[in-house]
Structure 1
Amino acid sequence: MAARRLVVIGGDAAGMSAASQARRFKGPDELEIVAFERGHFTSYSACGIPYWVGGSVEGPDALIARTPEEHRERAIDLRMRTEVTEIDLDRQRVRTRDLAAPGATDAWTGFDDLVIATGARPIRPPLPGIDAPGVYGVQNLDDGQALLDALRAVEGGEQPRAVVVGAGYIGVEMAEALVQRGYRVTVVDQAEQPMSTLDPDMGRLVYEAMCGLGIETVREAKVTEIRTDGEGRACAVVTDDAEHPADIVVLGLGVRPETTLARRAGLPLGESGGLLTDLSMRVRGQDNVWAGGDCVEVLDLVSGRTRHIALGTHANKHGQVIGAGVGGGYATFPGVVGTAVSKVCDLEIARTGLLEQQARSAGLQFVTATIESTSRAGYYPGARPMTVKMLAERRTGRLLGVQIVGREGAGKRVDIAAVALTAGMTVEQMTALDLGYAPPFSPVWDPVLVAARKATAQVARDVEHTAGGR
């Protein structure tokens, strides 16, 4: 009997995790694996690019988990610089183009099982000058190398200027990287506060801290143009009411699911444009088509809705689940609670669960509690301040979300809340959690538990007020 053929579109986290896991289940005699990657690298950490650019880590080799050669040693036929241009579901085949051989004819490759792991594409609005030299994105390792080369070419004289467009995770991380390289940095964003992944009151703390770090942060500013000089190179970012000079412009506007192929093939997409799958990461309505990584939407365990979250942690898990399914095993990806953590210089920023607006959109009623505490016992050297905000459902007290902004020791505390959300705990139940304590690590009451206590009191007052109103 001929071996089944698995075709994988995309050679990064989800795609190659799926291929590797499937190979663990079945050998080459049972399963042929062919993977197509249009870029120059496989299995790399895009999340590490800002830290490579900033000089905190080596790259690009240090950011690569497995090279193409290492995948091929595991009997995976990995074809680099090969782009999939069409998915033919009726005939179970994909059309490919060899990008390294211009003029080469397209080829068709049949499949028994198909994995779509096409990732996400950076948001790049159609502005005048957006494609000019001197404007850079940071989506892949090629982007990181191009930006580094440009930064090195500019450095050496008067303090250079960089403008970052967008103040989300990518934007603030790139702002840090540029500060570390000695640039005078301006961040321009159209939102009320930086980090729209936080509520505005918590985003304001990020704004104040960024200004304190010497990063000029321009809020509620719509970019209208990337101005170019006489040589056609970017020299300024123009907004409705100002112009910000720049030697380098970095785009940090976020990403959208890359599902062009899936859409053309008629596969089901969600509100954000991501592929919809079942718990086994099989595309809905398909028996032999799977999808994972930044091109899919996943179930939010708190709101009960699907959402798009582009994170390498999820992508690797998706790949493990897909590989098990293709290989004849069984695994599921139950969903996420929306946990993310980042930093800009020494400011740590974290969130999990729902923001206020997300909770309202889901039809949930809630109370909030915000507290200020420290990372260690107040009397212990090095104690740093942090602010914790907690959302809890009215009446039930079910934890809905947590946001944390603070200095060293703040960010990873969000994991406590992530576990509590996954377990469906109430804020009152959280107050009894047996967390580790010693003065070098925490106050007697950990800041997350202090917030839970305050939220518990808020829920109780709300219940009493409602009962009294009757």
Structure 2
Amino acid sequence: MTERLVVVGGDAAGMSAASQARRRRGPDVLEIVVLERGSDTSYSACGIPYWIGEVVDAREDLVVRTPQQFRDVHHIQARTRHEVVAVDTDAGRVRVRDLGSGREYDEPYDQLLLAMGAVPLRPDLPGLDGPGVFGVQTLDDGQAILDHLDAKDVRHAVVVGAGYIGLEMAEAMVVRGYTVDLIERTERPMRTIDADLGCQVADAMQGMGIRLHLETEVVAVEHHGDRGMRVTTSAGELPADVVILGLGSRPNTELARAAGIPVGDESGGVVVDVRQRARVEGVWAAGDCAEVHHRVTRAPTTIALGTIANKTGRVAGINLGGDYATFPGVLGTAVTKICGVEIGRTGLGETDAHAAGYDPVCATVETTTKAGYWPDTASMQVKVIAERRSGRLLGAQIVGEEGSCKRIDTFAAALWNEMTVEELLNVDLSYAPPFSAVWDPVLIGARKAWDAVLADETR
């Protein structure tokens, strides 16, 4: 008898799961239906700022596989513009709304995977739902922004929020030649890294012409038709022809909550086990809407990253396909590039470590991406966070010029394996002048952190 898998959400987690399940079970034994409320499946949301900033040429370049390819090649029914509005776990069915026709119908399932992703934060403020104000989550959002920019005489852009998306979109607006004001309610941009490194990000943005309004909050957006908008803030008013919201996101769990599927109080994501099973028979969850285990804090959390979405989707799909897989957790490793500055982080920052109950010691070093005498060597800062006395690595951060940031992956590998900074400083990394100094920046950071541990013991 053919079993039926229904997937809610057709991007990274959902399509990874569907593909893995299909590899293990053919269409004669497993029917797969994917319901996606947007217009695309399996696309790179991370590439949207680069598409808008004209680094990526076309929308199609960000699509990995189209719904037609999933149907024709993989025998997966990928229905775009179909939104799931309710889940009935007792009856084993979901209520679906066809956004094209408005028709609603029931879709039965034997197994259900929730992969709805995250929803952008959008404060309930006057004017924030008006024309010319955009979130950045889907390719449809990106297209709406481009259509607006092409149709209007845009000169002033206001970006609200200084996280990854906000900063990347601010840079994209500068690249397009607009005057850019960035509003952030806290004291610095990029709060996922510690303040002593984050100041470099602010300097780079200001050096590119972005006007930062820190410790400032948006109060309202006034719309004046063809005369554009005025953004009212706690510090005054700013003109705007386009407003971009980059305020972060939260797990999209409304469907799960309404259906009685447990959601974590602390994580905010659907509660799952190591195989991505929810606490309701026949229901699974993966991606941004599902909680994950943090390997350093040991606590459940949610982290909206495409890497994690693909991995958790893969694990869910293997299990749904009849094999066995588990997801071992996350470190929150992430990289980006803002205004020529590369930024990388993994594990806990200094503030995070204190909040998690650790007593950390830290070391920050100034170093170079290559041998100091190499013609195009660039500067970088490395910060290493270790546990006091034990020297266990807790996290690392890197800010620097080109060639800096991917070294965070070495720290991530060491952190994954619960190494101490003493163990890390003796790892046999490669060396040649065009690639690093004889002491690689990773090793210098680990060595200085170990020195800090030893110095603390002798006090």
Structures share fold, TM-score greater than 0.5: yes
Q: Does 1:423 align with 2:417?
A: yes
The Cα of 1:237 is off from its aligned counterpart by 2.0
Q: Distance in 2 between matches of 1:237 and 1:405?
A: 32
SS in 2 for 1:244: strand
The Cα of 1:272 is off from its aligned counterpart by 3.8
Does the aligned pair in 2 maintain the 1:166–1:187 contact within 8 Å?
Answer: yes
Does the aligned pair in 1 maintain the 2:158–2:183 contact within 8 Å?
Answer: yes
What corresponds to 1:329 in structure 2? 323
What corresponds to 2:196 in structure 1? 201
Q: In the comparison of the two structures, how many residue pairs are matched?
A: 457
Q: Distance in 1 between matches of 2:105 and 2:348?
A: 46
Q: Deviations over 1:270-301 (max 9, x none)?
A: 22421111111111x23321111111121110
Matched ranges for 1:240-319 at <5 A: 240-270=234-264, 271-283=266-278, 285-319=279-313
SS in 2 for 1:294: helix
Matched ranges for 1:153-164 at <5 A: 153-155=151-153, 160-164=155-159
One-letter amino acid of the structure 1 residue matched with residue 69 of structure 2: E
Q: Distance in 1 between matches of 2:227 and 2:16?
A: 40
Matched ranges for 1:54-453 at <5 A: 54-73=53-72, 74-102=74-102, 104=103, 106-155=104-153, 160-229=155-224, 231=225, 235-270=229-264, 271-283=266-278, 285-453=279-447
One-letter amino acid of the structure 2 residue matched with residue 87 of structure 1: V
Does the aligned pair in 2 maintain the 1:209–1:347 contact within 8 Å?
Answer: yes
RMSD: 1.3
Q: Distance in 2 between matches of 1:437 and 1:196?
A: 33
Q: Distance in 1 between matches of 2:286 and 2:349?
A: 25
Larger deviation: 241-250 or 116-125?
241-250
The Cα of 1:59 is off from its aligned counterpart by 2.1
The Cα of 1:406 is off from its aligned counterpart by 0.7
One-letter amino acid of the structure 2 residue matched with residue 41 of structure 1: D
Q: Distance in 2 between matches of 1:244 and 1:389?
A: 36
One-letter amino acid of the structure 2 residue matched with residue 382 of structure 1: D
Matched ranges for 1:6-45 at <5 A: 6-45=5-44
Q: Distance in 2 between matches of 1:208 and 1:80?
A: 42
Larger deviation: 430-439 or 161-170?
430-439
One-letter amino acid of the structure 2 residue matched with residue 200 of structure 1: A
CA separation of 1:344 and 1:268: change in aligned 2, threshold 3 A: same
Any stretches of 5+ residues in structure 2 without a counterpart? none
TM-score between the two structures when normalised by the length of structure 2: 0.97
Does the aligned pair in 1 maintain the 2:228–2:239 contact within 8 Å?
Answer: no
Q: Distance in 2 between matches of 1:226 and 1:444?
A: 54
**Percentage identity across paired residues of the two chains:** 55
The Cα of 1:234 is off from its aligned counterpart by 5.1
Q: Deviations over 1:135-174 (max 9, x none)?
A: 111110011011112222335xxx8111110000001111
Does the aligned pair in 2 maintain the 1:202–1:405 contact within 8 Å?
Answer: yes
Larger deviation: 239-248 or 116-125?
239-248
One-letter amino acid of the structure 2 residue matched with residue 434 of structure 1: D
One-letter amino acid of the structure 2 residue matched with residue 418 of structure 1: A
Q: Distance in 1 between matches of 2:227 and 2:33?
A: 41
Does the aligned pair in 1 maintain the 2:268–2:301 contact within 8 Å?
Answer: no
SS in 2 for 1:315: helix
Does the aligned pair in 2 maintain the 1:234–1:249 contact within 8 Å?
Answer: no
Q: Distance in 2 between matches of 1:129 and 1:314?
A: 34
Q: Distance in 1 between matches of 2:318 and 2:458?
A: 51
The Cα of 1:228 is off from its aligned counterpart by 2.0
One-letter amino acid of the structure 1 residue matched with residue 33 of structure 2: V
One-letter amino acid of the structure 1 residue matched with residue 46 of structure 2: C
Q: Distance in 1 between matches of 2:9 and 2:51?
A: 23
SS in 2 for 1:94: strand
Any stretches of 5+ residues in structure 1 without a counterpart? 466-470
Q: Does 1:464 align with 2:448?
A: no
Does the aligned pair in 1 maintain the 2:204–2:340 contact within 8 Å?
Answer: no
The Cα of 1:233 is off from its aligned counterpart by 7.1
Q: Distance in 2 between matches of 1:440 and 1:236?
A: 50
One-letter amino acid of the structure 2 residue matched with residue 115 of structure 1: L
The Cα of 1:232 is off from its aligned counterpart by 8.1
One-letter amino acid of the structure 2 residue matched with residue 280 of structure 1: R
Q: Distance in 2 between matches of 1:236 and 1:387?
A: 39
Q: Distance in 1 between matches of 2:303 and 2:194?
A: 17
Does the aligned pair in 2 maintain the 1:417–1:448 contact within 8 Å?
Answer: yes
Q: Deviations over 1:39-74 (max 9, x none)?
A: 111100000000000011122101000000111121
Does the aligned pair in 2 maintain the 1:133–1:234 contact within 8 Å?
Answer: no
